[in-house]
Every structure is written in structure tokens, then in C-alpha cells.
Structure 1
């Protein structure tokens, strides 16, 4: 299926999910979900995945749920989870590595009636990845390189995710250059765009490609960190 963009009804349908968030309503409108979201999402993954391979040949993608696509239903059983059953925000991920898609550096996006969110990296490190990240930036040269990459991205209008800690972890102190990097719980950069961009397939792919091309240095650094996790656990 050729990707020509999402339907002009996609964002209004997501708003309808937000306003009618229950499983019975959704099952009555499942065909609209498939037409406006699921099928074009699959086509987008196939087409844009091929484009991304020009930037990073080892990228992984698959137009399936729990691969590049996310379930429309939330897991409401988790402690602290949002209790409404359906997501009105559609996520898509292309990841680099063989482990968990959420713990490998990735090209990620989601869209909702409110925004088109575009990012690379890992937004939340689990402990093995957090340990590898801290070990990586203990080295002065590697820490300076990461700081340089983030500064360059911020000068181009991209934002870095917020820090997650207030106290320096063991091995770091305020006297170290760029010590603030040790306060992150994840490492990712992002940009927020107008969600209406999803309707124009060619413009969406062109815009995303240019953004990810500029974000690529951070993608590659976070991937390097993820390889250290594999080495340590092998």
C-alpha cells in the first residue's frame, strides 16, 4: 500500500477517541480506526523505514503492532497508569539494535490532535541502560562530545528532554565540566510540529527526514551507549 498521507479525518477521529474513551464506542468505530489510522500507519512505516535506511542502514522497523506500531489500548493495570482505556496519541518507532525497542536508540514520533512530536534517543533509561550511560559520560572526552552534540541541536531549535535527578550520582560532582549530563534519566532530543502535517504524505516524509538527519549525531551516540549494555551483559 502506497503512503499518500493520513486522512483529513484522522485527527478528528483521534479527538473523538478523546471525547468517547471507552471500549464499546471504539468497537463500534473500529473500521474508522483501521481506515484512518492503522492502515496508513502501516504504509507509512514501510515507506519511511526505507528512507531512514539511507541515514542508518541498521535501523529496524516492522509495520506490526508491538513492533513499529503501538497498541491503541492502554495497559491500565500498571501502577500510576492513565485509567482511560484508549490512546488518542498514535506512536510510531524505528529502532536501532536487537533488544527492547524502547531501550534502543530510536527514531520516534507520535501525533495527536494537539501535536506532531518528533524525537531520537531513549526517553527513559531502565537500570542497565542508565548504568551504561553514566559509565559512558564519566569519560571527559565522551561527555564533552555529548554536550557539543546537544548544544548544536539546541542551536538549530531542537529541545533536550528534561533532567530527571537533582543530585549528582556517584562519580560526578559540580566541579566536573558538563556534570549536568549525569542528571538525566534518559537522553533524547525532540521537536514539536503542527499535527496537520500528517495529511500531506510527501511533505511529512521530507520534513521528518530532514529533522532526523540533523538529529542523527545524538541517535548514534545513544546507540553506542546501548552497545555497551550488550557488551556488559554478554
Structure 2
């Protein structure tokens, strides 16, 4: 299936989910979900994935649920989880490495009626990835390299996720250059755009490619970190 963009009705449908967030309503509108979200998402993954292979030939992608696509139903069983059963935000991921897709350095995006969010990196660390990240940036040259990458990326107008910790972890102290990099709970850069961009297939692909190309140095750095994750 050729990707020509999402329908002009796609964001309206996601807003309808937000206003009618229950399984009964969603089941009655399952065909709209398939036509407006699922099928064009599959086509997008195929086309965008082929483009991303020009940046990273080993990138992983597959137009399937629980691979590049996320389930539309939310897991409400987790403590503190959003209890609304249906997601009105559609996420798509292209990941690099053998680790779990959310713990691998990845090209990520989601769209909703409110925004198109585009990101690269790992947005939050589970313990194995956190340990690998901290161990990797104990090296002064690696911290310097990461600091330079982030400076270049922010100079191009992109944002970096906020730090998550206030105290330096073991092995780091305030006298170290770029020690603030040890305070992150994840390491990713992002940009928010007008969600209606998804409706113009060619412009959508071209815009994402340029953004991901700009963000590529962080993708590559975090992939190097992921290679050092120890098996649990």
C-alpha cells in the first residue's frame, strides 16, 4: 500500500476517541480506526523505514502491532496508569539494536489532535540502560562528545528532555566536566510540530527525514550505549 498521508478525518477521529473514550464506542467505530489509523500507519512504517535505512542501515521496523506500531488499547492495570481504555495519541517507532524497542535508541513519533511529536534517543531508562549510560559517560571524552552533540542539536532548534535527578550518582562529582549529564533519567531530543502535517504524505516524510538526519548523532551515541547493556 502506497503512503499518501493520513486522511483529513484522522485527527477528527482521534478527537472523537478522546470525547467518547470507552470500548463500546470504539468497537462500534472499529472500521474507522482501521481505515483512518491502522492501514495508513502500516504504509507509513514501510515508506519511512526505507528512508531511515539511508541514515541507519541496521534500523528495525515492521508494520505490526507491538513492533513499529503500538496497541490502541491502553494497559490500565499498571499502578498509576491512565485509566482511559483507548489511546487518542498514535505512536510509531523505528528502533536500532536487539534490546526492547523502548530501551533501544530509536526514531520515534506520535501524533494526536494536539501535536506531532518527533524524537530520537531513549526517552526513559530502565535500570540496565541507566547503568550502561552512566558507565559509558564516566569516560571524560564520552561526556564531552555527548555535550557537543546536544549543543549542536539545540542550536538547530531542537529540545532535550529534562533531567530527572538532583543528586549526582555514585562515581560522579561536581568537579567533573559536563557532570550534569549524569542527572538524566533518559536521553532524547525532540521537536513538536503541527499535527496536520501528517495529511501531506510527501511533506510529512521529507520533514521527518530532515529532523531525524539532524538528530542522528544522538541516535548513534545512544546506540553505542545500548550495546553495553548487560543482560539481566
Query: For the superposition of Structure 1 and Structure 2, which TM-score range results when normalised by the shorter chain?
Result: over 0.9
Q: Where in structure 1 do 4 or more consecutive aligned residues deviate above 2 Å?
A: none
Match status 1:144 vs 2:138: no
> Structure 2: which 5+ runs fail to align?
none
Paired residue secondary structure (2:93): strand
What is the 5 A alignment of 1:1-234?
1-229=1-229, 232-233=230-231
Give how far 1:99 is off.
1.8
Name the CA distance, whole Å, in 1 between partners of 2:187 and 2:99.
Answer: 17
Name the CA distance, whole Å, in 2 between partners of 1:162 and 1:64.
Answer: 31
- Alignment deviations for residues 165-211 of structure 1 (CA, whole Å, 9 cap, x no partner): 01110011111111110000010000000000000000000000000
Name the CA distance, whole Å, in 1 between partners of 2:42 and 2:140.
Answer: 43
Name the CA distance, whole Å, in 1 between partners of 2:153 and 2:74.
Answer: 33
Q: Contact conserved, 2:18 with 2:88, CA < 8 A, in 1?
A: yes
Q: Contact conserved, 2:23 with 2:85, CA < 8 A, in 1?
A: yes
Give the alignment's Cα RMSD to 1 decimal.
0.8
Name the CA distance, whole Å, in 2 between partners of 1:99 and 1:162.
Answer: 24
Name the CA distance, whole Å, in 2 between partners of 1:170 and 1:97.
Answer: 28
Aligned residues: 232
Name the CA distance, whole Å, in 1 between partners of 2:144 and 2:135.
Answer: 14
Give how far 1:233 is off.
3.2
Q: Contact conserved, 2:3 with 2:43, CA < 8 A, in 1?
A: yes
Name the CA distance, whole Å, in 2 between partners of 1:195 and 1:68.
Answer: 19
> Structure 1: which 5+ runs fail to align?
none
Q: Contact conserved, 2:99 with 2:226, CA < 8 A, in 1?
A: no
Name the CA distance, whole Å, in 1 between partners of 2:231 and 2:206.
Answer: 38
Q: What is the TM-score when the length of structure 2 is the normalising length?
A: 0.99
Paired residue secondary structure (2:121): strand
Q: Contact conserved, 2:125 with 2:185, CA < 8 A, in 1?
A: yes
Give how far 1:15 is off.
0.3
